[in-house]
Amino acid sequence: MSSKLSQAMGLGAGGMIGGRVALKLDPQALRRLCAGRRVALVTGTNGKTTTTLMLARAVDELGLVASNHGGANMPDGLVTALSQDPDADFAVLEVDEGYFPAVAQVVEPEVVLLLNLSRDQLDRVGEVHTIERSLRKVLTDLPNCTVVANCDDVLVTSAAWDAKRVAWVATGTGWHHDSASCPRCGSPIRHDQGSWHCTSCDLGRPKPHWGVDRGDLVSSQGERIELGLRLPGKFNQANAVMATAGAAAFGAPVAESVRRVRSVTDVAGRYRTVSRTGHTARLLLSKNPAGWTETLTMLQGGDHAVVVAVNAKEADGRDLSWLWDVPFEQLRGRTVIAAGERATDLSVRLTYAEVRHTVVPDTLKAIDAAPQGAVEVIANYTAFRDLNAKAANAQ
Amino acid sequence: MRSDSTVQIALVLPDLLGTYGDFGNAVVLQKRLAWRGIPAEIVPINFGQAVPESCDIYVVGGGEDTAQTLAVKHLQDNPGLQHAVRRGATVLGVCAGIQLFGDHFTRADGVTRPGLGLIDSTSHAGPNRAIGEVLAKPLGGLFDGVLTGFENHQGRTTLGPAARPLAQVTVGTGNDGKVEGAVQGKIVCTYLHGPVLPRNPQLADLLIEWATGTKPAPLDLPILDQLRAERVKAAQRTTDASSRG
């Protein structure tokens, strides 16, 4: 009822209100709702929603799964998802990295997926090294938990280093701009030939159990399975292997997990295609410098028009300094339209990147203004959410 | 400026002090020089590398407490920046920059660390984190127009007699709620991100003038005026909202 109310009032996607009420009524709700279930938590800066959906699909093989598919990843969102599926034996939950320590202590998960850590909304979430230290503390103390961790990410490796049981995954993806210094001792980190190590203490890239190699998953048993994902980009291959390794920790067979992970196409509207006014627009969500960099890399080689939409509401982070951490120079030579509430900031960034562009603040109108045919639309959080809602209404 | 006439812009420890997009300041300087026909290049100096003393402009960004401590140690062990300052090089220090250029700074955990002593100032952790849009009025006729930026810092800074403030705060916190930044010789420090130079082309051109010895020709980029107008309005809205609240 209250979820419908939330949707009717336009307060969001309807994932939050029910949970907020339940938590107020019963502070132990999360603990009680997880008791007796086998729980996996997915956290990290980027890829949480996609990987959670992939893991939930794979674990479906083993039994009923409760999951917060919409990306409502704070405690009240978790309570909502869990109350909707009281009979599910499994819970696969995306958790905001800031809330993760508190949530993990309460639910004592059997599996944790730690995807990656990089700067994100510094004015709201805080600095990434602080996040790493809080994750490290709780992961070290968790009993009976398998941590599936990306060993190509220095901060993730440090956070999982002292955990009781770790499945290391070589994802081939990692943002190095926040890991020049060792998170444990402060000495320089040296990166060479896909590996890395601290120049002073013993922190270094562990030998991976799982990996991605030219589009194939390589399992801990040495099996190679072609991923054949319908979602684009190397980043999603990394997410798929993390999800498969997580499902394996629950006992799911690898080949079956990959088959199920492959079926994921639309993740809460992301990667979805919208047709309007002679345009086929693909909607891509990017929330922080590492995410934007992955998305721009994925678009390289193409020549479709690109609409870039940026807002700076509370949920996006009010500070747009991060625009300068994103290599927009890669868009040179393409048709580019700057959109969103902060189209002017974006236009200044593109001007200094020497990317020719026009400015059309309304994102739907920006799509209409592009040459007919395929259009890539990259948007940050609320710009993406608003566009998805508007595109749905317009169709 | 060097005899080969390429202006060298040193980006100091971007891997430690690049947390808030301050790399953009180096891009702005480089492009504003290049667009006027003056060749310029960005020279990144990473953690673990020696610091050259021959660059024309040094740009230092913001970073976390730990990164800042590491940066000071690295710059003490490799004193190229200090030698360049003695030679009269132009320097922009942002956020952590203002703290690590001072005599000392006291971190949030109470530990006091020596700074580089390039600016007559001391810094300490304030009672709360100052986060939000800032407006400040430039002092001493350095440049025209209001200074705009986004601040996100715990530090508070007190200037000694050899340093003078960059601007007087009208919205936000800056050094202490009253003044913002510091100027000493050809060193400019500020707490402002945004980054600061895309928001304030007048400040960028002042640094270019100091580095090249010539006042640069005007650049006509209306989008910059539009950005400044939008940000000034947004900052004024935040004060209106807080005085109501």
* Active-site residue, selected from the candidate residues B95, B124, B153, B189: B95
Task: Taking residues B22-38, report their average pLDDT.
Answer: 96
B150 with A122: Cβ contact below 8 A: no
CA atoms within 13 A on the CB side of A352: 28
Q: What is the pLDDT of residue A174?
A: 65
- Cα angle A281, A273, A366; round to 5: 25
pLDDT of residue A282: 93
Residue B243's Cβ-count burial label (10 Å; 0-12, 13-18, 19+) is: exposed
**ipTM > 0.90 for the complex:** yes
Q: Which residues of A are annotated as a binding site for Zn(2+)?
A: 182, 185, 198, 201
Better-predicted residue by pLDDT, A271 or B65:
A271
Q: Which residues contact B160 (CB under 8 A, 6 or more apart)?
A: B103, B120, B121, B122
How much is the pLDDT for A288?
85
pLDDT digits (tens, 9 = 90+) for B185-195: 999 999 999 99
Q: Is B132 part of any domain?
A: yes
Question: How many structural domains does chain B have?
Answer: 1
For residue A111, the SS3 value is strand
Range of the domain at B176: 7-244
- A378: closest CA among A365, A393, A390, A363? A363
Q: Note the pLDDT tens digit of each residue in B119-136.
A: 999 999 999 989 999 999
**Burial class of A303 by CB neighbour count within 10 A (0 to 12, 13 to 18, 19+):** exposed
Per-residue pLDDT, A260: 97
User: Is residue B1 a part of any domain in this protein?
Assistant: no
What is the reported pLDDT for B133?
95
Identify whether B39 is preceded by a cis peptide bond (ω within 30 of 0).
no
Is B193 assigned a catalytic role? Answer: yes
pLDDT of residue A90: 98
Residues in chain A predicted with pLDDT less than 70, given as ranges, are 1-27, 121-126, 174-175, 395
Instruction: Supply the pLDDT for residue B238.
Output: 76
Task: Decide if A344 and B28 are in contact by the 8 Å CB cutoff.
Answer: no
Is B2 within the bounds of a domain? Answer: no
Take residue B177 and report the two structure tokens written for it: 């709620």
Query: Any idea which residues of A carry the catalytic annotation?
Result: 319
The pLDDT score that the predictor gives to residue A6 is 41
In contact, A148 and A239? CB cutoff 8 Å: no
Angle at A235 between CA A232 and CA A238, to 5 degrees: 115
Annotated binding site of A: 182, 185, 198, 201
Distance from CA of B161 to the nearest CA of A (A): 32
Query: Is the CB of residue A13 less than 8 Å away from at least one CB of chain B?
Result: no
**Residue B110 domain flag:** yes
pLDDT of residue A27: 60
Residue A1 confidence (pLDDT)? 36
Residue B137 in domain:
yes
pLDDT at B29: 98
A–B interface: beta-carbon pairs under 8 A: 90
Which DSSP letter does residue A371 get? Answer: P
Question: What local confidence, expressed as pLDDT, does residue B241 receive?
Answer: 64
Q: Which of A201, A319, A328, A332 to probe the B interface (max B CBs under 10 A)?
A: A319
**Range with the poorest average pLDDT among A87-91, A345-349, B64-68, B226-230:** B64-68
CATH code of the domain covering residue B133? 3.40.50.880
DSSP B94-113: ETHHHHHHSSEEE-TTS-EE
In a domain, B22, yes or no: yes
Does residue B215 lie within any of the structural domains?
A: yes
- In-domain check, residue B54: yes
Mutating which of B35, B95, B193, B232 best tests the A interface, going by the most A Cβ atoms within 10 A?
B193
The more confident residue out of B147 and B127 is: B147
Q: How many CA atoms lie within 13 A of B193 on its CB side?
A: 29
Pick A112 or B20 by higher pLDDT: A112
- Domains, chain A, in order of start with CATH, read 2-262 (3.40.1190.10), 273-394 (3.90.190.20)
> Beta strand A210-213 with A357-359: parallel, antiparallel or unpaired?
unpaired
